Amino acid sequence: MRPENYQSVNHPPSNEFELFFGPNHPGIEGNYALKVRVNGDEVTSARADGGYLHRGFEKLMEGRLWIQNIALVPRICVPDPVPMEVCYSLAIEELGGIEVPERAQWIRVMQLELSRIAAHLFTFGGHAATTGMYTPMFWGIADRDLILDLFEELSGGRVYHIFNIPGGVRRDLPPGYLDRVSKTLDYIESRLPDYDNLLFTNKVFVHRATGVGVLNQEQALEWAVTGPNLRATGLDFDVRRDDPYLVYDQIEFDVPVEQAGDAWARALVRRSELKESLRILRQVVAKLPSVGGPIRAPIPNPLAWNLPAGDVYTRVESSKGELAYYVVSNGGDKPYRVHVRGPSAMHAVQVLENLVTGARIEDVAQIMFSLDACPPEVDR
């Protein structure tokens, strides 16, 4: 029964609709919206709409001591928090002229790669889900949990590890830790054929992902695409190798590259990176016992720690792409300015808007997820 005050609306004859993807949508890891105009099944225009996760991190950091911000930065990207901590710490260390002990550097690499595996497991689980396949997602999340267990053991926190501190890391490895890392690596390695079986040689997924959201290399460079998304367009570039930080220059690894530039190529790059991360981690596990020494350079009392005036731009390769911190000190005990350049700030806004335009409505979610965007990096 219709309410008494019901009035029928006379729509103009049109096939155009405006749809909201989000702000709560599984197509992206966090609250984010995409306003999509569709004509029939085809997207005619799209506009990203952020702001649902804005917490004012950059402003908050200006009001906190240098060291207090270590509890803040991992929150900028929940699925892949370690690069945030490391990148911020690297900036402070460069400003303060602090030499990070070698052992701490190896421990950082270990965390970074564990975090990358966790993030990638999360991502292609999600990517599969956007094509209607939910099992990879369950598997991905369940296996990611094993890495979170390792983080819990190391840092006392599963998601926000708050473990990297300017100068190094906060604790040494617990006894027997590397054995357990090895065991988890073995397990994840043994799971790779299962993933391939389930997803990467799965005809449904291959066909659904091929030719979707194609980005050629020229476009990718024009729109400042970075990370796996850039490597999926055939450009062989990785910050870890080409602008090295920590001890990555002592580690052997390949940079996987694909040519197609579509959602499928992006998924494949991530899949191959899993293998490379495992390879890096094996080297770290083998190397760490022989690297002795302190885990943290001596740092001043955090309550009375002025960093020399100056500015620094540090970059790391996160699982999503090029992550950078621009940190300015005016000689005080707090940052004067911190600018977080998250890779998703590019991917989730201009790139997404462009890729989605002209795509079919059922592919929108997949394109969103295949870019592996993390909204808090946009909103900060």
Interactions with other proteins, residue window 107-146 (CB under 8 A): 142
Token pair for 153: 């053991």
Closest distance of CB 253 from other proteins, Å? 15
Please identify, among the stretches 78-86, 117-125, 217-225, 361-369, the one whose residues bind other proteins according to the rule CB under 8 A.
217-225
Amino acid at 88: Y
Residue 59 in contact with other proteins, rule: CB under 8 A: yes
Q: By CB under 8 A, tell whether 301 contacts other proteins.
A: yes
Question: How far apart are alpha carbons 75 and 10 in whole angstroms?
Answer: 47
The CB-of-167 to other proteins minimum distance in angstroms stands at 10
Q: Which residues contact 378 (CB under 8 A, 6 or more apart)?
A: 32, 50, 53, 342, 344, 345, 348, 349
| Residues 6+ positions from 219 with CB-CB distance below 8 Å | 225, 233, 354
- Answer for which of 258, 262, 276, 317 binds other proteins (CB under 8 A) is 258
Q: Is 206 an interacting residue with respect to other proteins (CB under 8 A)?
A: yes
Which of 106, 79, 255 has its CA nearest to residue 181? 106
* Among the listed residues 132, 196, 211, 358, the single contact to other proteins using CB under 8 A: 196
Query: C-beta of 185: minimal distance to other proteins in Å?
Result: 18
Determine if 282 is a binding residue for other proteins (CB under 8 A): no
Q: If binding is defined by CB under 8 A, does position 189 make contact with other proteins?
A: no
Q: Which stretch binds other proteins (CB under 8 A): 11-19, 78-86, 118-126, 216-224?
A: 216-224
DSSP-assigned letter for residue 360:
B
Choosing from 144, 315, 320, 334, the residue that interacts with other proteins (CB under 8 A) is: 315
Reading phi first (left if > 0) and then psi (alpha if -120 to 50, else beta), residue 22 is in left
Count interface residues toward other proteins (CB under 8 A). 83
Query: Which is nearer to other proteins, 133 or 361 (by Cβ)?
Result: 133
**Distance of closest approach, residue 6 Cβ to other proteins, in angstroms:** 31
Residue 255, phi then psi, degrees to nearest 5: -105, 105
DSSP calls for 185-248: HHHHHHHHHHHIIIIIT-HHHHHHHTTSS---HHHHHHTT--HHHHHTTT----HHHHS--TTG
CB nearer to other proteins: pick between 49 and 189: 49
Which residues neighbour 158 within 8 Å (Cβ) at sequence distance 6 or greater?
A: 148, 149, 151, 152
Does position 69 bind other proteins by CB under 8 A?
yes
- If one asks whether residue 328 binds other proteins (CB under 8 A), the answer comes out as yes
Binders of other proteins in range 83-102 (CB under 8 A): 94
The three-point CA angle 186-29-376 to 5° equals: 115
Tokens in use for 245?
């930080």
Q: In terms of residues, how long is the chain?
A: 380
Binding test (CB under 8 A) with other proteins, winner from 21, 223, 248, 369 = 223
Rule CB under 8 A: choose which of 20, 40, 41, 56 binds other proteins.
Answer: 56
Q: Which residues on neighbouring strands pair with residue 339, listed in sequence order?
A: 326
**Does 296 help bind other proteins (rule: CB under 8 A)?**
yes
Contact flag: residue 222 with other proteins (CB under 8 A): yes
Q: How far apart are CA 306 and CA 66, in angstroms?
A: 8
Q: x-or-dash pattern for other proteins, window 334-363, by CB under 8 A? A: --xx-x-x---xx--xx-------------
Q: Would you say 18 or 149 has its CB closer to other proteins?
A: 149
CA separation for the pair 60, 68 (Å, rounded): 10
Kindly tell me which residue out of 237, 247, 255, 357 binds other proteins, with binding defined by CB under 8 A: 237
Q: Are 376 and 75 in contact (CB under 8 A)?
A: yes
Q: Which C-beta is closer to other proteins: that of 19 or that of 221?
A: 221
Subset of residues 145 to 184 that bind other proteins, contact rule: CB under 8 A:
149, 152-153, 155-157, 160, 162, 170-172, 174
